[in-house]
Amino acid sequence: MVAGKTVCLRRLSRGNRALEVRFNRFLGHDKVTVERIIESWSERTITAVEGRHVLAIQDTSEIHFNTTPQRRRGLGEIGKGNHHGVLLHPLLAVDADDGACLGLLSGQIWTRQGRRTTSHDERELSDKESQRWISTAVAAKPLLTKASAVTVLGDRESDIFALYASSAEQHFHVIARSMHDRKLADRSGLYEASDAMAAVDRRAVQLPARAARPARLAQLELRFGAIELARPQSKFLSHLPKSLPLAMVDVREINAETGVEPQHWRLLTSHEVTSIEDAWRIVQWYKQRWIIEQFFRILKTQGLKLEDSQIGSADRLIKLVAIAAKAAVITIQLLQARNGGRQSILAAFDSGQINALTALNQQLEAASKRLKNPHP
């Protein structure tokens, strides 16, 4: 998949019908489960994280597969219910210091089965899709015991009180972008508290490109302070602490160009933030979240084009997503190596695969010195 930049079985088999059939049978085999494939994601990552401060970055993406009323392929609804597909929620390990992609740790892949009839507020957290933010992070904990520190990092969907509560361990922290104007222990509001904080610094920060926005240098204004987050009033959260001490780092873009929506991040974290440098470090770590957006782009649009797959059943598509996720991570690691990264090849390939790659390189590289592989 990495070499072919595709998940299409016919293209992967290069016209070899027998090979195409074997791969399709592999996806359909009862002993090949999505759980086992996801479990295999971390086999090389466990070694790569040793001694590092790991950013465990998680996010969710909807993967849309074309369907018709006559050919739903067993897929549930995604988006606003007008498309069908699966949902992928991976946890990606990234070195906090140099941004090296260390590999996948854990995750979930599923397709929805019908619509819920019970309201969101009347369901326990374990019965909500948002539980994935907590269970995925918890599943990765035993895989990260050799890391020097772990910071679980997510966007606004991960603004969950129970996730903050789960980070109350030494060397295990959370950073999440606030989505809700939560109540604080003193009964004031989170946004009111952030607005009352004094601006303490300004810096020019490079913001990476996104789908509808080019990369740009933004002037960001910094605020930070300690807060005491009150537990939400829900009968399903009564077992959690009444309040949690966190830090809030607030960065706002100033003097944005006309037509550009200014950035504003309220970042909640269990890290101790007592200085301006501490606060900017939280911002820098949060910026690393964009690597998981690169992962989804490679998976869906700019690389493997997963959504073009014509496999006919949901269970096989889910397995294909799990395999393609690993291929997308290896692609990122290869891109980082090409661009001067110093990550060990063992983070992506084992000794047998390295020997095979060496042999392939000898067969495929050009004869002239100018066109030879500069990374033998």
Say yes or no to pLDDT of 376 above 60: no
Give 2 or 292, the one with higher predicted confidence: 292
Q: What is the pLDDT of residue 373?
A: 65
d(CA 354, CA 356): 5
The model's pTM is: 0.89
What's the burial of 135, exposed, middle or buried (CB within 10 Å: 0-12/13-18/19+)?
A: middle
Two tokens, residue 257:
């160009």
Phi, psi of 140, rounded to the nearest 5 degrees: -85, -15
Average pLDDT over residues 285-304: 93
pLDDT score for 346: 77
Q: What is the pLDDT of residue 179?
A: 95
DSSP β-ladder status, 243-254 and 264-269 = antiparallel
Phi-psi region of 150 (alpha: psi -120 to 50; beta: other; left: phi over 0): beta
C-beta neighbour count of 203 within 10 angstroms: 13
Residues 158 and 166 sit within 8 Å (Cβ to Cβ):
no
Write the pLDDT tens digit of every residue in 254-270: 988 888 889 999 999 99
